[in-house]
């Protein structure tokens, strides 16, 4: 990616808090959604079952505007659970159809639900949380002490951090085409709704990079897309924090970054450069193992470039 493709942002000084505006998200509570079985191929009927909840759009924090044309934002829509796409230690991802009864207006969404305070959070989460603070000292103490309330606050920060990062990166990608992430539809407490990437007819999610065995030309193209995306992240002040071939999708020829709750502020977090270097090392190792020449995927050279783009060198 050439320098003029994306203007470098104003450099920030160490210690500036990126996540202060997350606090309202942590206190937001939404209605519980009762799961309902549905056939992926079935058209929405004129009168959905009474157990199907109304769309939660009205009481959520919304993604960037203008909203994509495919997104259903009508308050008359109903949300229908279609099953589980992925389970994890910290969150589960469900497939959901949002449709307006009696019309052909519908869309598929991926719904990421973070575990409540009684479940495990991320391994070694203290390192990721450095540089993230909320305004009230009581809440900071609760998070530091991992009380029940503090753990719920942390869970909310994971969701809010991912939503905030996706919103910023999606706007950059929409404008410059240098990075691709799922559109962040809405945020309600610890529930994050995202654009579904995959086959809408089959409800099959796009494959992860780890599942693929690209030919040499495609491998080089995917590496070039990854470098562009990492430069965007660095210029925005971010490191993914948990980047691997399992957190990258390939959809319609584009490499898509997903799973960003552990996004790290490389300026405010003292361990930021280490997280960034680890991200680069993990993905570079995968590409070299698949046949990309080591000289083209040099982790040290790429890490140095990204640190310069982040204003740290």
The one catalytic residue among 79, 125, 228, 242? 242
Backbone angles phi, psi at 239, to 5 degrees: -125, 145
**242 given a catalytic annotation:** yes
**259 given a catalytic annotation:** yes
Give, in order, the Cα–Cα distances in Å from 169 to each of 63, 75, 189, 298. 11, 27, 21, 25
Backbone angles phi, psi at 82, to 5 degrees: -115, -5
The one catalytic residue among 259, 265, 279, 298? 259
Catalytic residue IDs: 242, 259
């Amino acid at each position: 990616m050439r320098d003029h493709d994306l203007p470098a942002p104003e450099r920030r000084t160490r210690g500036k808090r990126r996540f202060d505006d997350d606090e309202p998200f942590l206190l937001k509570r939404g209605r519980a959604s009762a799961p309902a079985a549905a056939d992926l191929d079935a058209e929405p009927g004129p009168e959905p079952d009474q157990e199907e909840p109304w769309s939660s759009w009205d009481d959520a924090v919304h993604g960037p505007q203008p909203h994509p044309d495919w997104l259903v934002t009508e308050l008359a829509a109903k949300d229908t659970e279609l099953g589980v796409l992925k389970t994890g230690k910290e969150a589960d991802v469900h497939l959901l159809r949002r449709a307006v009864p009696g019309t052909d207006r519908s869309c598929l969404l991926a719904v990421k639900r973070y575990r409540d305070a009684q479940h495990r959070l991320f391994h070694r989460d203290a390192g990721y949380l450095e540089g993230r603070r909320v305004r009230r000292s009581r809440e900071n103490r609760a998070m530091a002490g991992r009380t029940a309330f503090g753990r719920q606050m942390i869970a909310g920060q994971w969701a809010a951090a991912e939503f905030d990062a996706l919103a910023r990166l999606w706007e950059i990608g929409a404008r410059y085409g240098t990075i691709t992430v799922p559109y962040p539809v809405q945020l309600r407490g610890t529930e994050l709704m995202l654009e579904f990437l995959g086959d809408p007819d089959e409800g099959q999610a796009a494959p992860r990079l780890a599942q693929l065995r690209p030919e040499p030309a495609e491998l080089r193209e995917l590496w070039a897309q990854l470098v562009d995306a990492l430069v965007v992240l660095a210029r925005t002040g971010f490191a993914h924090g948990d980047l691997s071939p399992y957190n990258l999708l390939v959809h319609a020829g584009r490499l898509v970054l997903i799973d960003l709750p552990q996004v790290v502020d490389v300026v405010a977090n003292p361990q930021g450069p280490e997280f960034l270097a680890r991200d680069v090392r993990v993905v570079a190792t995968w590409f070299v193992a698949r046949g990309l020449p080591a000289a083209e995927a040099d982790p040290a050279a790429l890490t140095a470039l990204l640190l310069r783009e982040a204003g740290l060198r």
